[in-house]
Amino acid sequence: MTPGTLVLLHAPNTGSAAWGDLPETLRSYGLDVVAPDVAEGTGSRYVARAALIIAATAPATPLVLAGHGAAGPLLPAIALAQRAAHRAVGGYLFVDADLPRPAQAHDHDHEGGHEHVPSPPDWPDAPCAYLRTHADRTGAPGHAQAVREARLRGWTVTEHEPPTTVAQSLSELLTTL
């Protein structure tokens, strides 16, 4: 798939600088890339701020939402906001990310200061893929579980291997959506 706009969403409580030179490199491949800098907030606050920033960029559709780390579980809610604004979402990429979880009875609780934002019941509404980078291999056992879950869900999973750049692995994974 060729997205209208690839939206790179950093983990909450970090910033768009966490993507490093990835947005610029992907732009050099001819992709329209937006990397919103959601300065503060987690959970629904992050979702609302990200949605406003995305809207301000007037992105071309369909969007592909790419989430890193703890932004992964927020992608369905961000997509719901985009669909409400009549912007089509054509796919989801999880980059070393946690996966969305279905709604639970205790979702209104705030555990450790992090609000759980449940996935809409009709999610996923577009193809999904997972990219595990070489940098992630050493310290995130939860992402190894996410890779297993992504495979069980039938998603395309790419395990990035140097010397290929992360941008190249990500752009190749986009074509599978």
pLDDT at 115: 58
pLDDT at 138: 54
pLDDT at 141: 58
Question: Parallel, antiparallel, or unpaired for β 114-115 and 110-111?
Answer: antiparallel
Domain extent listing, the chain: 5-174
Whether residue 109 has pLDDT greater than 50: no
pLDDT at 159: 87
Q: What is the pLDDT of residues 23-68, one digit of tens each?
A: 999 999 999 999 999 987 788 899 999 999 999 999 999 999 999 9
pLDDT at 92: 97
DSSP state letters, the chain: ---SEEEEEPPTTS-GGGGTTHHHHHHHTT--EE-----S--HHHHHHHHHHHHHHT---SSEEEEEEETTGGGHHHHHHHHHHTT--EEEEEEEEEPPP----TTTTSEETTEE--PPPTT---S-EEEEE-GGGTTT-HHHHHHHHHHHHTT-EEEE--TTS-HHHHHHHHHTT-
CATH number of 5-174: 3.40.50.1820
Whether residue 105 has pLDDT greater than 70: no
The encoded tokens of residue 73 equal: 């579980």
pLDDT at 135: 60
pLDDT at 111: 47
How confident is residue 112, by pLDDT bands cut at 50, 70 and 90? very low
Whether residue 110 has pLDDT greater than 70: no
pLDDT at 73: 93
